[in-house]
Structure 1
Amino acid sequence: MSADRLSVVIPCVDEGGVIERLLDSLQPLRKAGHELILVDGGSTDSTVALAAPHVDHLIDAPRGRARQMNAGAHIASGDILWFLHADSTVSCDAVELIVKGLTSVECCWGRFDVSLSGHHPLLRVVEFMMNWRSRLTGIATGDQGIFVRRHAFFTVGGFPDIALMEDIALSRRLKRLSRPHCLRQRIGTSSRRWEKQGVVVTIFRMWWLRLAFALGADPDKLARQYHQCSSPIQDS
């Protein structure tokens, strides 16, 4: 195993329909000595029971991705923190790419390109724009599997305790230390929120939320709007 040990932090609430798939794909990491941490925000479905046998630590934290991910980071023992959403799909060489990327370049953090699961043609446009914009601006979203050296994460104070756009805010903090290492390798994520309300409607809603946040809107109010177009997958 590389000298760089990863702690994978996964925040979730009611993700019983997808969590096993992700955790199954991460088991080779555990066998290699890396660490899996699941932070539950009060699930009422089978998430906890399904996840417990497949992680090194399963902890509870107040609901909210920022709070949950910070809680996971505080108990993590790895040199690198890798934050994944429960509906992510990762490749078997992801850890090697992370370690190599943070070793070979003057970066203390980074992210993957993203691939959306749906087949609607507009989702390919969404993917392209997300990846291009991220590479141009140095801002990453949670869907892109943000990874960061532990010392850098705590140097900038971790995720700010806000209800939405915590990934954008963390990126801004980390950019003070270095530009992100933008991996072209893709990490998959569910397109469920795009498909629930319609792709076009969701594109404009997400653009509006990002613009409003940039202009200083209250993250709590934006979070309520966001959750209107977000739909956890229930147990199958």
Structure 2
Amino acid sequence: MLSIVVPTLNEIKTGYLSKILAAYSDLADIEIICVDGGSTDDTVSLINQSNARLIATNIGSRAGRLNAGIKQAKFDMVLLHHPRSLLDIDGINALANHSSEIRWGAFTHQFDIQHPLLNFTSWYSNRIRGDKRGVYYLDHCLFAQKQLLFDVGLFPDIDIFEDTDICLKLNGKAKPIRLPYISQTSAVRFETNGIYRQALENQYMKWRYYFNGSDKKMNARYEKGIELNTKYKKQPEY
């Protein structure tokens, strides 16, 4: 028994949402909830043609869309699915079959293209930031007991690093588990902006986060020219 929550916003351009919906459509005892933030492409049509449940909103932040999906989830275990990741089906089945034994955790990250720096990034995300510090980003596809998510207050109302924040809170309740099954994630930011440039930008974003930078200003910079998670009517200055 598993609820899968996917926060969506104009997902057609990357092609991942169609892969997600097609790959998971025949899984038993699993519900898929797509919480859309006002897509202007064919995202909503794609969801409506699938067996996923659509929650149409005007929620601007990915965190807010995740919270809306969590509140509507029917099952005790909730899989918080990145909209540009694709999970190993065996991994989903393993999580569903052992959901009563697991408090929270994440899958094993891997990019969908091979490059030494991207391979290192995934290794660091899995082994160091994840296993040693208990912080996994949403592209690992986080999962947690629904009640545990409520116990920590759900995701904070911020536009970026909401996954870091909730992991730190969950760490205070239980130790996470990283399942060995792959969450293959789009490297679209690296391909669009350049691998080394995006890697440096990611480190800069982390620096600003740890020094309490404005989440809207950080995310406006992070999303500039690509707008994958948030679309601002007026870009905040960064």
- TM-score normalised by L of structure 1: 0.89
Q: Report what 1:45 is aligned to.
A: 41
Deviations 1:144-194 (CA, angstroms, capped at 9, x unpaired) = 000000110111111001011110011011111011111222110100001
Would you say 1:123 and 2:121 are equivalent positions? no
CA-CA distance at 1:90 after TM superposition: 1.2
Compute the displacement of 1:95 (Å).
2.2
- 2:25 alignment counterpart: 27
Matched letter for residue 84 of structure 2: D
Structure 1 unpaired stretches of 5+: none
- Shift of residue 96, structure 1, vs aligned partner: 2.9
Q: What's 2:61 paired with?
A: 64
Alpha-carbon separation, structure 2, partners of 1:179 and 1:151: 16
Which of these residues, 189, 212, 220, is aligned with residue 216 of structure 2? 220
2:12 is aligned, of 16, 23, 38, to 16
CA RMSD across the alignment: 1.6
Report the CA distance between 1:231 and its aligned residue: 5.5
Of the three residues 121, 143, 146, the one matched with 2:142 is: 146
Whole-angstrom distance in 2 between the partners of 1:213 and 1:231: 19
Distance in 1 between residues matched to 2:142 and 2:39, nearest whole Å: 24
Q: 1:170-223 CA deviation, whole Å, 9 max, x = no partner? A: 101111101111122211010000111111111111111112112211111111
How many Å separate the matches in 2 of 1:108 and 1:35? 19
1:199 aligns with 2:198: no
What secondary structure, in the 3-state scheme, does the structure 2 residue paired with 1:148 have?
A: strand
> Could you tell me how far apart the structure 1 residues matched to 2:100 and 2:3 are?
17
- The match for 1:113 among 102, 108, 128 is 108
**Aligned counterparts of 2:93 and 2:152: Cα–Cα separation in 1:** 25
* Equivalence map 1:78-117=2 (5 Å): 78-99=75-96, 102-104=99-101, 107-117=102-112
Distance 1:230 1:97 in 2: 34
Relative distance call for 1:48 and 1:59 in structure 2 (3 A) is same
Q: Percent identity?
A: 28
Contact (CA 8 Å) 2:109, 2:183: kept in 1 or not? yes
Structure 2 SS opposite 1:21: helix
**Are the equivalent residues in 2 in contact too, given 1:83–1:147 (CA < 8 A)?**
yes
Once the two structures are TM-superposed, the CA of residue 99 in structure 1 deviates from its matched residue by: 4.0
The answer to whether structure 1 residue 208 and structure 2 residue 204 are counterparts is yes
Specify every segment of 5 or more residues in structure 2 that has no aligned partner in the other structure, as ranges: 229-238
Please state how far the C-alpha of 1:229 moved relative to its aligned partner. Answer: 6.8
Distance 2:196 2:12 in 1: 28
| One-letter identity of the residue aligned with 2:120 | V
- Return the offset for 1:230: 4.2
Partner letter of residue 154 of structure 1? F
Q: 1:51 to 1:222 in 2, by over 3 A?
A: same
